[in-house]
Amino acid sequence: MKFLKLDRSVMRNFGMIEKNRVITVKTNVLSIIINLYRNKAPNILSLVVFGINDSSCSELIAGNVYRKQVDYPKIFKLRLINKPYIIYKTLQASLLKRLLKILADNNKEDELTFLIFNGSISPDNIFDSIKTNHRRVYIENGFFPNTLQIDCRGVNAANSLPREAGYYLNQPNYGAQDLPTKVQVRKLKLSYPFTPLPDDYIFFPFQIPSDQQIRVHSRWIKTMDDFMNLIISFAAKYPDKNFVIKEHPSFKQSIAGKYPPRKNILFANGNSTEELIKNARLVITLNSTVGIEALLFGKPVITLADACYNVDGLVRHANNIKKLNEFIMDEGWLPDERLRIQFLGYIWNKYLFHGYCSSNTCIASNIHKVPPSSYLKFEKNRVITGKYNFQIICQELEPIAWDPRIFHGVHIQCSLLEVFEVVHSRLESTR
């Protein structure tokens, strides 16, 4: 088994061990051209000339262009800056698409797996534009601290989590006693004061305006301005209700002063997300991870976009303003408690990979969960390289419900590459 990945900074450490099994492709244009030459690509000069205006790549780079314009509007809305950027990204996408196809054709489908970070914007989304049956593994941060999504179908709204309530209700009791007690702590890019909160309010967590989760998976609310205008309209319609907003901590700009102030609309950018969730009557989100965090605390959630937790009975999904109005007025609704427990237990105990990435290892703190007899087997299976044979460990622990968490701890590390192989096989077998 070999793995093909791009030289994204977030994927840099994924190939430090077993380098002979990892093909890392450099993504700057010059390196791509050199790689095409080494792989005997025909008519490289014509590929470059064609690539500058390759219309088939317009959609591939659209997300990148949009993010630049949102994140740096004063710079990337200037034609002098934006046009060269579009030309460069178009050329990069066109050449990289051809190079990846060549590399894929040079390796059998069952011997090469693509490692893709997120996969929603270029250059990683180029993998999905290639017509090939090579296996894909998508990687992204998980929904809770120190967790990862490792999925063969996609991440976030595109992941493989079932959307049917019956799937979770008919599963064994996953339990929720081991669920985290804290939500993700996101560092503030700007400093904000603490905002005193009303006793009763609806919480609206904002997402990063350039978030591809919105662009790709939100059908009627396309921007944070759309979201804000929606809140303003409801604030005018329901003057007796309070609406609390927290903008995404990772975004370096704020729209708080962009709109006329209203007494029943509060910005609480300096408050903790956990506090805002716990004290809210209702959480309304597009498809933010905050929706899952709200379920952790038993709060009713309304989603306005496609989300991996859009499960009937778990949340309410409003795909238009009429539905949203109906749901807001139904103040007594709560998520089905057993479904909530089963869903959260499933993603925590079954779906998410518990660990963080560092120097090509995943580390977690749940080693105490491993039965003592099984813990001894880890020592027995340690190999000379200092890592552990993940496949053998899985086989020996087969009677135990498979859980990636238990294989990693302060004293135990294993290669991510081994994890990818096992995760892929497990996911494929359950499709």
Give percent of the chain above pLDDT 70.
Answer: 78
Q: Are residues 370 and 303 in the same domain?
A: no
Task: Decide if 57 is inside a domain.
Answer: yes
Q: Are residues 336 and 364 in the same domain?
A: no
Q: Are residues 214 and 341 in the same domain?
A: yes
Amino acid 109: pLDDT: 87
Q: Which residue has the higher pLDDT, 279 or 422?
A: 279
Q: Could you tell me how far CA 410 lies from the centroid of its own chain?
A: 26
Task: Decide if 39 is inside a domain.
Answer: yes
Task: Decide if 187 is inside a domain.
Answer: no
* Domain extent at residue 408: 352-429
Task: Decide if 151 is inside a domain.
Answer: no
Q: Are residues 225 and 129 in the same domain?
A: no
Task: Decide if 197 is inside a domain.
Answer: no
Which residue, 292, 323, 345, sits at the end of a domain? 345
Q: Are residues 217 and 311 in the same domain?
A: yes
Asked if 159 and 151 count as a contact pair (C-beta separation under 8 A), the reply is: yes
Strands 2-6 and 112-117: parallel
Q: Are residues 391 and 423 in the same domain?
A: yes
Q: Are residues 18 and 121 in the same domain?
A: yes
Q: Are residues 224 and 336 in the same domain?
A: yes
The 10s digit of each residue's pLDDT in 107-140 is 998 888 898 999 999 999 999 999 999 988 888 8
Task: Decide if 311 is inside a domain.
Answer: yes
Task: Decide if 367 is inside a domain.
Answer: yes
Which helix (DSSP H) or strand (DSSP E) does residue 84 occupy? Answer: helix 79-105
Which residue, 310, 345, 380, sits at the end of a domain? 345
Please state, in angstroms and rounded to a whole number, the distance separating the CA atoms of residues 280 and 287: 18
Q: Are residues 297 and 404 in the same domain?
A: no
β-sheet bridge partners, residue 110: none
The 10s digit of each residue's pLDDT in 64-77 is 999 999 989 999 98
Residue 369 confidence (pLDDT) above 50: no
SS (H, E, C) 195-244: CCCCCCCEEEECCCCCCHHHHHHCCCCCCHHHHHHHHHHHHHHCCCCCEE
Q: Who's near 73: CB < 8 A, 6+ residues apart?
A: none
pTM: 0.82
Which residue, 345, 379, 411, sits at the end of a domain? 345
Q: Are residues 127 and 7 in the same domain?
A: yes
Q: Are residues 99 and 6 in the same domain?
A: yes
DSSP conformation class of 187: P
Q: Span 191-205, mean pLDDT?
A: 92
Query: Chain-wide mean pLDDT for the chain?
Result: 82
The number of domains in the chain is 3
Please state, in angstroms and rounded to a whole number, the distance separating the CA atoms of residues 312 and 165: 6
Residue 360 confidence (pLDDT) above 60: no
Amino acid 2: pLDDT: 84
Task: Decide if 168 is inside a domain.
Answer: no
Q: Are residues 273 and 356 in the same domain?
A: no
Place of tokens 């989603």: 303
